[in-house]
Amino acid sequence: MKNEFALTLFSGRHIKPRFQLNLLEVAVVFCMTVLTLGAADAGLCVVYKGLNYAQTGPSTVTPRSGNDFAEFRAFASMTSPGSLLSGSIRNPINQTFNLAADGQELAFGMDFNSQANMDAAFANGNYLMSLSTRNDGNRSFTLNLSGDAYPPIPQINNYSAVQTMDPTAPVTVQWAAWSGGAANDIVILEIEDSQTGDMVFSTPMPGMSGALNGTSTSVSIPANTFAPNRTYSGKLLFFHPVSMDMTSYPGATAVAGYLRSTSFGLATTGTPVDTQAPWLENQAPNYGDTGVPRNAGVSFQFSEPMQASVAIQWNPSLSFNYQWNAERTVLFCFPAGGLLPANTTISFTLNPPGQTGFRDVAGNALPTINGQFTTGAGTVSPDVRAYVIVKEAYYVQSSPTTVIAPTNDPPFAFGAFVEMSAPATVTNVTFGGPNDVTMEFDGNEWSGGVEASTQANMDAAFPQGTYTFTMQTVHDGLRQASLNLPATSLPNAPRLVNFNAAQAIDPQSPFTLQWEPFAGATTNDRIQIEIEFKNQWSWRTVFSSPHPLSPAAINGLTTSILIPAGTLPPGRQFTAFISFIKVASLNTNTYPGAMGVVAFAANTTVPIATIGQPSKPVLRNLRHFGSFVRFEIQGEQDTPYTIEFSEDLRQWYPLRSDWNHTGTLVIEDWNANPNRRFYRVREGW
């Protein structure tokens, strides 16, 4: 398997290796037997250039827009977690780029809006991939990527037919023949659910039975693969290898090639059937919050409308009054006595074992969900901390000097926000004036907004004038407050000055983010910095400057902020948000204790990264009592992990998937084989 040449689509355009036994997803096998396997530390190593297209009709295939069109990628897969320590790729003009680790591979990639721009940055020629491995020392490949030997543009021949698929019958997807395609070329078709992003069908990987090659022109998909009355996203990929090296690093395979891919939509007929369980999208207070005000409520936001029934087990046993919003997607829970107990850890279980009161409209039960928070000693007032109107511009920084408007998203937006002083203290908000927006609740605040392609369009939709918030609060009753919106005056675009240094941050040392000055700013203006980590499973804020409305907020004259050592996890890629906020007016009189703010903001997103290896989940503290096994998973905070078990290391079964909120997740298995059972854990669901 270690020599298998296998490619698969990932995150839309990124090609990653897939191994038959999913060894790359296994962080560790924890058992009472030590198993040692001999293999190279690297599996599949690939350098490629690709062009991406979208098919929107039977004969309409066009290049994907913006930076989704052209891509350069280089990656090296790990045969076991942490088997590759670091790596780099050197292009033909001797520029070297570090490969970043994500737990399964070392990878580098850049996207472009044209082939010419991609070729200017990554010309044809020899590419040197260098790897530092855990067991095999330093290894390198030289791969020749030249000739522009791109496959033809993939095109679906029966496009109209796959728009009206009968989900109860087999479906055939047909495409135009690859002129000159051969058995050593690769064809892959993958189809995802458009709503959930879940993979529902994939052709076998190269080397496996039924794998497609350059001579293939169709594939049959079994009946009942698709759900009725649902849309899907397909991608057909043609990959042509131009060079291969299987000798420089025995046990590993290095390949260079060119690819073209075409994305297309599919749809089924029939009456939709909802068989998907609802899930909890947001809760407030958040899991593990401390110092929660005693006059706070508790809110749960669900992924879809729910039935009216409720099943919550509180510990300690507390009485709550329950109130659904009009759509029955948010449940507000208010202490029956008016206040939560002081300095108390309150835990809850939604749909505790034996109860299924929480169900969606179709009758699907919510999975059992646990959470907790800890109260403080005091209360806060009023119920609203701030109500805000803001006009914003958005930018993207992709190099030390390049700051431009985003190509895939509208660059301007109007927004209205109501921030609560404590969880669940506002149950409804409306907003109106020269134009209205619908206010929605996300568990932490009420917000609404409209995006615009130009500032002129934004200003035309939301002109100068008086806008009014109407807020239904829990303790302060119905409140109305108005703000006057003046002529638009947006700040300059923020720019990170030490961009290059921020691409290789040592997470064990303090790091200072530095930005260009906020032009014309005063101490009354604000700067907000947030750093987020996001992958295919979740996102979380790992660093944030003080809230713009807090006394400790960064004022407009500041040009840097220190990120303490140990704040950012190692071996990860992040998005930093730098916001310049021009405060146009402040109203503290209409709703005493609450701040009414009118502001203009400019926001820049910047990629940053840390060096090192991502923290691998570790299974520890095993306790074994007959058929009961208990152990802990030590890993990254706020990261989902899936635990699987096996009796023979061949067939694996899911035991539990859960969030590791605190860094340590306790796992209990009450039905373990008393003689032998193996466990493994991987990041994700």
Tens-place pLDDT, residues 619-635: 888 887 777 888 888 88
Sign for the pseudo-dihedral over CA of 318, 321, 327, 328: positive
Average pLDDT over residues 107-118: 93
Q: What is the pLDDT of residue 435?
A: 93
Amino acid at 551: P
Q: How far is CA 84 from CA 75, 130, 137, 612, in A?
A: 11, 11, 10, 11
Check whether 247 has a pLDDT greater than 70: yes
Check whether 159 has a pLDDT greater than 60: yes
Share the mean pLDDT of the chain. Answer: 88
- Distance CA(178)–CA(182), nearest Å, equals 8
Check whether 25 has a pLDDT greater than 80: no
- Give the pLDDT band of residue 35 (cuts 50, 70, 90): very low
Choose the weakest-confidence range: 26-40, 297-311, 345-359. 26-40
Could you read off the pLDDT of 557-588 as tens digits, one per residue? 999 999 999 999 898 899 999 999 999 999 99
What are the backbone dihedrals phi and psi of residue 96, each rounded to the nearest 5 degrees, phi first? Answer: -110, 135
Check whether 5 has a pLDDT greater than 60: no
Q: What is the pLDDT of residue 305?
A: 95
Q: What is the DSSP secondary-structure string of 259-291?
A: EEEEEEEEEB-S-----PPP-EEEEESPTT--S
Q: What is the pLDDT of residue 377?
A: 94
Check whether 22 has a pLDDT greater than 60: no
Residue 443 tokens, joined: 């568990």
Q: What is the pLDDT of residue 18?
A: 28
Residue 674 tokens, joined: 């008393």
Q: What is the pLDDT of residue 626?
A: 73
Angle, CA of 428, 434 and 436, to the nearest 5°: 30
Q: What is the pLDDT of residue 83?
A: 87
Q: What is the pLDDT of residue 397?
A: 94
Angle, CA of 449, 455 and 458, to the nearest 5°: 35
Q: What is the pLDDT of residue 535?
A: 66
Half-sphere exposure of 424 (CA within 13 A, CB side): 30
Angle, CA of 114, 116 and 117, to the nearest 5°: 70
Residue listed under structure tokens 């908000």: 429
Average pLDDT over residues 129-145: 94
Q: What is the pLDDT of residue 288?
A: 87
- Distance CA(611)–CA(574), nearest Å, equals 12
- Give the pLDDT band of residue 442 (cuts 50, 70, 90): confident
What percent of the chain lies above the pLDDT cut of 70?
Answer: 93
Check whether 657 has a pLDDT greater than 90: no
- Give the pLDDT band of residue 340 (cuts 50, 70, 90): very high
Choose the weakest-confidence range: 2-11, 66-75, 80-89, 146-155. 2-11
Q: What is the DSSP secondary-structure string of 379-398?
A: ---SSEEEEEEEEEEEEEE-
Check whether 7 has a pLDDT greater than 60: no
Return left, alpha or beta for 113; rule: phi > 0 is left, psi -120 to 50 is alpha, else beta.
Answer: alpha
Check whether 124 has a pLDDT greater than 80: yes
Residues in CB range of 560: below 8 A, 6 or more apart: 512, 513, 514, 515
Q: Which domains does the chain have, with CATH numbers?
A: 8-27+38-267 (no CATH), 280-374 (2.60.40.3710), 385-609 (no CATH), 618-683 (2.60.40)
Q: What is the pLDDT of residue 20?
A: 26
Check whether 662 has a pLDDT greater than 90: no
Could you read off the pLDDT of 44-61 as tens digits, one per residue? 899 999 999 999 999 999
CB atoms within 10 A of CB 324: 15
Q: What is the pLDDT of residue 537?
A: 61
Could you read off the pLDDT of 173-188 as tens digits, one per residue? 999 999 999 999 999 9
**Nearest Cα to 576, choosing from 550, 542, 535?**
542
Q: What is the pLDDT of residue 239?
A: 96
